[in-house]
Amino acid sequence: MSRPISLTQHILTQQRLHPEATGEFSAIMTQIALGGKMIAQDLRQAGLLDILGTTGEVNVQGEEVQKLDQRANETFVQVFESSTLVRTVVSEEMEDPYTVVSAERTGKYAVFFDPLDGSSNIDVNASLGSIFSIHRLSPSPSGNGGASFLKPGAEQVAGGYILFGASTILVYTCGDGVHLFTLNPGIGEFFLSGSNITMPAHGAIYCVNEGNCLKWSNGMKNYIDHLQEIDPATGRPYSLRYTGCLAADVHRVLLKGGLYLYPGEVDKPEGKLRLMYEAAPLTFVIEQAGGIGSTGFERIQTIQPKTPHQRVPLVIGSRDDVELAEKFLKPEMG
C-alpha cells in the first residue's frame, strides 16, 4: 500500500527539482495551510459558537462584514504575523495593505487573499473558500502605499484556494502543474489526492448569476442564449450551476470543464470580483491546467494592477469555451 503524501512532503519534493529554491515557499504554504485548517475547524462548529451573522460593519468593498469573514481574516493575519517572510498582506477585509512587523526588514513576499469567499453562503452551511496569491516583492519595496507589490498575475509565485465543502481541500500551483490535497481532519494534515490536474478543453456547464441578465451587454446576453440553444452536436444546451462561491464554481469547472462568468455590467463595467485575490490566483490555477482566465476582452494575467482592491470582469474555464465567450463579448466591450 502506498503511503499518502502530505502537503509539506509534496512541496519539499517539488522543491528538490528546483535547485534555486530556498525553502521559503514551503514555509509560506505551510502557514496558509495552517490558516485553512483553523478556518475549517471554525466552520465545522459555526452554529454552536457565536460566530454566525454580521458584525454590523461594512468593509472596503461596501459589503456587510460577516463575523466569520472577520474571523477568517484575523486567522490569516495571525498566521502571517509569526512570519519573517511575508512582509505585506492584502486582504478583501482590510482597506490598506498590512505590514507584518516581524518581517518589515526581512520579508520578501506579499500575500493577497480573500479570507472567506462566498460570504452569502456562511449562514446556510453551503460551500466557502479562501483564495490566495503569493508575489515576490521587488528588491527595494517602496513601502506599503507604493505600487511595488502590485504586479500582474503572470508574476505570481503561487496561487490557489482552500475549499470548505463536503471535505476541505487545498489546490495550488506554483507554475509546475496544479496539485490537489484533501484535509484528513483526524490527523490535521492535507494529503495529496490529485497531481498535475488538467482540465477538459470544453465542458457542458456554465456558472453565472443569471439574475443579473438585464444588466448585461448584448454580447453577454447573446453568449448565454447561445449556450442555451439545443444543438446536441456541440453539447448544447449547457447546464447551469451556480453556488454563490467563486472558489467552488471554479473548482467544478477545473474538474468537469465549462466556464464561470462574472461579467461587467452596462452600469458597472468593472464587474464585481477582485483582480489580485480572486481573478489572478484562480487564473493561475486554471491556466496551469490548460484553461484560460479573461475579462472577456483581455487576458487576466497581463493586467497591470493599479490598486490592491481593483475589480475586473471574469470569464474563466475551459479553453474553447472561454475563447468563444471572448468572441461574443469583444466586439462590444473592446
- Residue numbers of the site for ligand AHM (CB under 6 A)? 63, 92, 114, 117-120, 209, 244-246, 272
Contact partner at residue 93 from Mg ion, ligand AHM, none, CB < 5 to 8 Å by partner kind: none
Do the Cβ atoms of 115 and 80 come closer than 8 Å?
A: no
Q: Is the Cβ of residue 39 or residue 245 nearer to ligand AHM in the bound state?
A: 245
User: Where do runs of H (alpha helix) occur along the chain?
Assistant: 7-16, 24-44, 67-81, 218-228, 246-256, 280-288, 319-333
Nearer to Mg ion, 113 or 216 (CB): 113
Give min distance, CB of 104 to ligand AHM, in A.
Answer: 28
Task: Copy the grid coordinates of residue 100.
Answer: 507584518
Nearest 5°: the CA angle 206, 290, 135 is: 100
Q: Which does 244 bind (CB under 5 to 8 A by kind): ligand AHM, Mg ion, none?
A: ligand AHM
Question: Cα–Cα distance between 131 and 118 in angstroms, integer?
Answer: 11
209 binds, among ligand AHM, Mg ion, none (CB under 5 to 8 A by kind): ligand AHM
3-state secondary structure of 304: coil
Minimum CB–partner distance for residue 169 and Mg ion (Å): 17
**C-alpha grid cell, residue 333:** 466591450
Query: Which of residues 58 and 201 has its CB atom nearest to ligand AHM in the complex?
Result: 58
The stretch among 109-117, 134-142, 191-199, 291-299 that binds Mg ion (CB under 5 A) is: 109-117
Beta carbon nearer to ligand AHM, 92 or 321 = 92
Structure-block grid coordinates of residue 135: 508575489
Q: Which position among 117, 265, 287, 321 is part of the footprint of Mg ion (CB under 5 A)?
A: 117
Smallest distance from Mg ion to CB 66, Å? 12
User: Residues with Cβ < 8 Å from 162, sequence gap 6 or more?
Assistant: 32, 33, 36, 39, 40, 129, 130, 132, 168, 169, 170, 171, 247
Nearest to 148 by CA among 101, 82, 99, 84: 99
63 contact, one of Mg ion, ligand AHM, none, CB 5-8 Å limit per kind:
ligand AHM
Give the C-alpha separation, 16 to 176, whole Å. 13
Q: Per CB under 5 A, which region of 13-21, 55-63, 110-118, 163-171 contacts Mg ion?
A: 110-118
- Is 114 a residue that touches Mg ion (CB under 5 A)? yes
Q: Which is nearer to ligand AHM, 25 or 113 (CB)?
A: 113
- Give the other-Cβ count within 10 Å of 330's Cβ: 14
287 binds Mg ion (CB under 5 A): no
CB of 271 to ligand AHM, least distance (A): 10
Min dist CB 129 to Mg ion, Å, is: 7
Q: Which phi and psi (to 5°) does residue 310 adopt?
A: -55, 140
Smallest distance from the beta carbon of 267 to ligand AHM, in angstroms?
14
Task: For the CB of residue 170, give the shortest distance to ligand AHM in the complex, in Å.
Answer: 17
d(CA 291, CA 201): 7
Which ranges of 45-175 does DSSP label H, i.e. alpha helix? Answer: 67-81
- Tell the smallest beta-carbon distance from residue 268 to ligand AHM (Å): 11
Query: Smaller CB distance to ligand AHM: residue 119 or 295?
Result: 119
Does residue 93 bind Mg ion (CB under 5 A)? no
Q: Per the structure block, which three cell numbers stand in for 276?
A: 489580485
Q: Which is nearer to ligand AHM, 165 or 244 (CB)?
A: 244
**Which of 159, 158, 162, 178 is closest to 170 using CA atoms?**
162
Binding residues vs Mg ion (CB under 5 A) = 114, 117
